[in-house]
């Protein structure tokens, strides 16, 4: 069983919206800090947003005010609502989870406890 499964990616024009979801097991969802990373072609991976089990969220400066992270406790899903999308938001988006939000740091990507396979977001101008 794959621990994290992303969905909701796609293609949209600049200014449009997309909503990403990450399905997790109840154990992971209830115990782990969760977050989103992204990597554009030819660029380094970057952290986008994270959220604690009790709902405290952090955001990268590049997306603050446009993206909203949330946890759906009924569905055990992590969501990322992306509004006013820009071409520079084009990337593969990855869901991740670890015991502490301090571990959800792009510098520690390869040691993060759970990482999804990614979902592609493409924004055209």
- Angle, vertex CA 63, rays to CA 98 and CA 39, nearest 5: 60
Q: 70-106, pLDDT tens digit by residue?
A: 999 899 999 999 999 999 999 999 999 999 999 999 9
Q: 21-52, pLDDT tens digit by residue?
A: 999 999 999 999 999 999 999 999 999 999 99
Query: What is the rounded distance in angstroms from the CA atom of residue 112 to the CA atom of residue 102?
Result: 10
pLDDT band at 1 (very low <50, low <70, confident <90, very high): low
Residue 93's nearest CA partner among 44, 43, 22, 39 is 39
């Amino acid at each position: 069983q794959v621990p994290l499964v992303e969905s909701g990616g796609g293609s949209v024009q600049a200014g449009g919206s997309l909503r990403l979801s990450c399905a997790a097991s109840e154990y992971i969802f209830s115990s782990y800090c969760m977050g989103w990373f992204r990597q554009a072609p030819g660029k380094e991976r970057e952290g986008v947003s994270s959220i604690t089990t009790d709902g405290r969220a952090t955001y990268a400066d590049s997306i603050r005010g446009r993206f909203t992270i949330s946890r759906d406790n009924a569905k055990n899903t992590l969501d990322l609502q992306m509004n006013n999308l820009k071409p520079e938001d084009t990337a593969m988006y990855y869901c991740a989870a670890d015991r502490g939000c301090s571990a959800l740091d792009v510098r520690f990507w390869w040691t993060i406890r759970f990482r999804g396979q990614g979902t592609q977001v493409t924004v055209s101008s």
